[in-house]
Amino acid sequence: MTQYTAVTDADLAEMLSTIGVSSVQELFDRQIPADVRLGRALDLPAGLPEQDVYAHLRELAADNVSAEDEITFLGAGMYDHYVPAVIDMLLGRSEFLTPYTPYQPEVSQGNLQAMFEYQTAISELTGLPVSNASVYEGPSAVASAGYLARLANGKPKFVVSRGLHPHSRETLQTYAHGFGAEIVEVPLKDGVTDPEAWAAAIDGETGAVFFQQPNFLGAVEDATALAAAARDGVGGDGVIVVGQYDPIPLGILKPPGECGVDVCVGEGQSLGNRLDFGGPSFGFFAATEAYLRRMPGRIAGETVDADGRRGFVLTLQTREQHIRREKATSNICTSQALNALAGVVYLTWLGRQGLVELGELLLQRTHYAREQLVTLEGVSALHDQPVVREFAVTLDVGGVEGVAAVIRRCQDAGVNPGYALGRDYDEHATGLLVALTEQRSKADIDELVTVLGAAVAAERSNVEVTA
């Protein structure tokens, strides 16, 4: 690490004298209790010359493989969709790239209108009347929905489908600990949320229920039935139904607003945002009007000025920076507006019919891929539920290690076959989650079938020899 600092010894002495201490150590001694100090130097290696650091970082970068370097069927929440050039062009304009929070509406009309148009697009996509100007990403949007529910009805129990993304479940669990909510997980049955266990878990203490559409195994859930079970159960109308949705399949699936969902959240990466090593992206958040004033972040609204001209303002801001801390529902310190702008540009570029056509294309290619893969020896469908863009298979290769070996064999052949489900689901230790986007052609799918078939066969032979 570099030891360079712009503060000279004379500067330091003057600053310390001004605040009345003799040394930096005395400043620390006064402020930091001894029992929480490390008590030794950090265990860091000595600094390297700049050119050596560059060479080291270049070696690390060479280990990375991008979606452009292999045929990838990896999904699990982040997807390799094509990003049109118009998005980079618009996001690179200084009007959008450089501004921060639009505190002054009179000089921020462009950004406020972009937020307003984004909210409108999300509302139309989800069938819900209110959307905020985005949050950080999908899992924190789920957790924020939990906090909204806790504030809205005060009930301490959350019923969560095991089909909810593992990262969302973990984030919700972390947040729930802070605001005193209990998580009750409902298992999957035949690839979807077990309807009997779901209904049985909901009681008078249930404040919210959470499911994903399609779920993490790629299966399309009966969202209407899940929402109805929450309302018809012991919890009654007080239960808030939260659905985490993949936005792309909404081109062909029934929107959450028509399924009885109160709050719809999700990961927006697939809407015009690249993978970019896992981020940044944005989380979308839409709800019924009943929860308008408890939504996190900010909401841009349309109004008229003193002369009757159309204008835009920040209508609601539930951040602690704007209202009393005890009434705040969010401490998010940015709206991710640039990433959300990519989302609305992407939806505009596709158009209503384009989104439908994209969904139908994914449906057809996913069906073809699943049908072809299950013909391979040692590969079977993990479930038979309807799927849109992602599906799960089971590999008969001896366990978690066998799946990892199969994935490595495929990657060595230039194909990433998908996500190992055993990382998150002990009950699916030999599961593989395969994702499709419009960038995966029929030829790519056929290549996957060939490469995965060979890898499974090779690993099965290896298991037999070892045994």
pLDDT in tens, 158-182: 999 999 999 999 999 999 999 899 9
What is the per-residue pLDDT for 1?
45
HSE (side-chain half, CA atoms, 13 Å) at 158: 30
For residue 293, the model assigns a pLDDT of 87
Over range 82-109, report the average pLDDT. Answer: 87
CA gap 446, 428 in Å, rounded: 25
Residue with the bigger pLDDT between 303 and 234: it is 303
The pair of structure tokens assigned to 78 is 């982040």
CA distance linking residue 229 with residue 427, whole number of Å: 26
Residue range 297-313: mean pLDDT, rounded: 90
pLDDT tens digit sequence for 443-466: 999 999 999 999 999 999 876 655
Q: Which domains does the chain have, with CATH numbers?
A: 9-53 (no CATH), 71-80+356-466 (3.90.1150.10), 85-347 (3.40.640.10)
Q: What integer pLDDT is reported at residue 106 of this predicted model?
A: 80
Q: Residue 134 — very low, low, confident or very high, per pLDDT cuts 50/70/90?
A: confident
Q: Which residues, other chains included, contact 347 with Cβ-Cβ below 8 Å and sequence gap of 6+?
A: 121, 125, 271, 272, 355
**Residue range 110-129, pLDDT digits in tens:** 889 999 999 999 999 999 99
Mean pLDDT (the chain) is: 92
Amino acid letter, 155 = K
Q: Is 20 helix (H, G, I), strand (E, B) or coil?
A: coil
- Is the predicted pLDDT of residue 328 greater than 80, yes or no? no
pLDDT band at 318 (very low <50, low <70, confident <90, very high): low
Residue 235 is predicted with a pLDDT of 60
pLDDT tens for each residue of 344-371? 999 999 999 999 999 999 999 999 999 9
Q: Give the pairing type, strands 431-435 and 419-420.
A: antiparallel
* pLDDT tens sequence across 174-229: 999 998 999 999 999 999 999 999 999 999 999 999 999 999 999 999 999 999 99
